[in-house]
């Protein structure tokens, strides 16, 4: 039986996250203070007592979820993953867990990524929408049809689990696509309260900035494979990991396919490490026989 450790992405944050770890664990406290110093502001204060609105800011949310997940993982005394994966932002945590990135380098990259994505959102007004109860292939087809007919950017961005996808693109493109998805049989197609088209070509300006930072960062040989969002397969080559991490910003999060591949390669037990239980729910829908637990 193989054991996979998985790490959540943006959207799992909550006020008070990590506070008990800070107060009860000396190593955790040191990492929080290191992060505050690296970032140049007291992220821990916002995590412990910030408002929901403060925590929703991309330049806060991404390092906050990353930091909480890394510290929760390092608090596990006997974590011996056979494989790791992370949903979007969570892939950076996965790469700390398997030794590819140091804590400091990963946090620096997450901060650069968050700021670059925020700037890209301001350059191109855009959004995302959840599509429920429509086959993956049909969602992809509708996106392609809307793009071809309207000239607007619309792509499938997050393959979360069967029957739950997120599409990403221009505001007009998403509005058209939502109507087309419902006409094609989707149970619901809801525009999400997000400020940008993550995992779409509209993130290209952020990709350039992140790529330069990633290329200048040391990537080590992993202690176990990482199942990356871009390819949904086991990756161990540092050069390939680096490329996939860059491409992820404008490419789709293939979470369904990643979990299916982990299962095909022997994973039975999945431990989600970080705030919330989002991935536990998704994994249970992708593979009903999975043993799923969470650590936060």
For the chain, report the end-to-end CA distance as a whole number of angstroms.
23
Residue 199 bears catalytic tag: yes
Q: HEC profile for 178-208? A: HHHHHHCCCCEEEECCCCCCCCCHHHHHHHH
Residue 51 bears catalytic tag: no
| Catalytic-labelled residue, pool 199, 200, 258, 296 | 199
| Catalytic-labelled residue, pool 88, 170, 200, 296 | 88
Q: Which residues contact 106 (CB under 8 A, 6 or more apart)?
A: 66, 70, 92, 93, 95, 96
Unique residue bearing structure tokens 């993550």: 198
Q: Which residues are catalytic?
A: 88, 199
């Amino acid at each position: 039986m193989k054991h996979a450790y998985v790490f959540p992405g943006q959207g799992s944050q909550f006020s008070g996250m990590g506070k008990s770890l800070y107060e009860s664990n000396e190593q955790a406290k040191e990492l929080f203070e290191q992060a505050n110093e690296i970032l140049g502001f007291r992220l821990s204060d916002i995590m412990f007592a910030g408002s929901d609105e403060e925590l929703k800011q991309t330049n806060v949310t991404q390092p906050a979820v990353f930091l909480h997940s890394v510290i929760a993982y390092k608090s596990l005394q006997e974590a011996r993953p056979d494989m790791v994966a992370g949903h979007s932002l969570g892939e950076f945590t996965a790469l700390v867990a398997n030794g590819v990135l140091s804590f400091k380098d990963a946090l620096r990259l997450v901060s650069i990524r968050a700021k670059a994505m925020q700037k890209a959102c301001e350059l191109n007004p855009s959004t995302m929408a959840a599509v429920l109860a429509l086959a993956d292939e049909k969602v992809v087809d509708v996106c392609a049809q809307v793009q071809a007919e309207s000239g607007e950017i619309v792509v499938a961005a997050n393959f979360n689990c069967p029957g739950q996808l997120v599409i990403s693109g221009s505001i007009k493109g998403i509005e058209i696509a939502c109507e087309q998805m419902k006409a094609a049989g989707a149970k619901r197609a809801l525009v999400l309260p997000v400020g940008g088209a993550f995992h779409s070509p509209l993130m290209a300006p952020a990709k350039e900035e992140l790529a330069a930072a990633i290329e200048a960062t040391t990537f080590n040989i992993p202690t176990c494979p990482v199942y990356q969002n871009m390819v949904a397969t086991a990756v161990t080559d540092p050069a390939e990991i680096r490329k996939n991490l860059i491409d992820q910003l404008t490419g789709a999060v293939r979470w369904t396919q990643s979990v299916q591949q982990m299962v095909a390669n022997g994973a039975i037990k999945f431990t989600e490490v970080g705030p919330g239980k989002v991935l536990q729910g998704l994994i249970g829908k992708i593979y009903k026989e999975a043993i799923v637990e969470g650590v936060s």
